[in-house]
């Protein structure tokens, strides 16, 4: 989902999906199929097929200001790869990749970190947090990013954050921030217009 959303955003085209396979039934199967425009087929692995001509389509979004905003954090994270990061940070990294694919549950994240769910929860508790808190923080961070830096629709953002319905995303976002997603997007556009 993340790759399709990125390709559509960067090319400013609704890149068609020819085929999608998944090894197991997905939790939000109908929402995925609707977003992609194709039924999800059962297969041995996750597989996404796009038209060949789309592979050579250039990205139209080259935003130096956006790169400048993300580069320091990216460099900091890369420099820490050799260190032993906190479990919460490792969980956060897995969630950043898993959320758009709809596999952001604790069991999946624990498997990706090569530990049991119980061990992951215990280590997170030792760090003063929990899986639910890390998931909420990642969703809130990504939501702000999508609202302030992209033109994705509210439905697409909700989907990329793992919400089955946009209304669930709206309620959660208001709980996280005290604001509606539309208010954050409008404030970001006003700030951008003043520059």
pLDDT tens track for 155-181: 889 888 888 888 999 999 999 999 999
| Record: fold of 65-195 | Arc Repressor Mutant, subunit A (1.10.10)
| Domains in the chain: boundaries | 1-62, 65-195
Whether the predicted model's global pTM rises above the 0.85 cut:
no
Residues 2-34 as b/e (b if ≥16 CB within 10 A, e otherwise) read eebbbbebbeeeebebeebebeeebebeebbee
Backbone phi, then psi, for 47, in 5-degree steps?
Answer: -145, 135
pLDDT of residue 189: 79
């Amino acid at each position: 989902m993340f790759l399709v959303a990125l390709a559509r955003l960067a090319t400013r085209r609704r890149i068609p999906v020819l085929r999608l396979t998944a090894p197991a039934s997905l939790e939000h199967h109908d929402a995925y199929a609707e977003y992609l425009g194709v039924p999800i087929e059962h297969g041995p692995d996750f597989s996404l097929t796009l038209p060949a001509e789309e592979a050579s389509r250039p990205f139209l979004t080259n935003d130096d200001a956006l790169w400048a905003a993300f580069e320091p954090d990216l460099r900091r994270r890369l420099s820490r790869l050799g260190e032993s990061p906190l479990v919460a940070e490792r969980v956060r990294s897995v969630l950043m990749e898993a959320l758009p694919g709809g596999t952001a549950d604790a069991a999946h994240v624990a498997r990706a970190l090569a530990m049991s769910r119980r061990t992951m929860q215990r280590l997170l508790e030792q760090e003063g947090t929990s899986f639910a808190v890390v998931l909420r923080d990642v969703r809130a961070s990504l939501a702000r990013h999508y609202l302030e830096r992209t033109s994705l629709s509210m439905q697409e953002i909700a989907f990329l954050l793992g919400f089955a319905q946009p209304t669930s995303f709206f309620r959660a976002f208001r709980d996280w921030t005290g604001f509606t997603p539309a208010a954050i997007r409008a404030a970001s556009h006003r700030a951008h217009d003043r520059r």
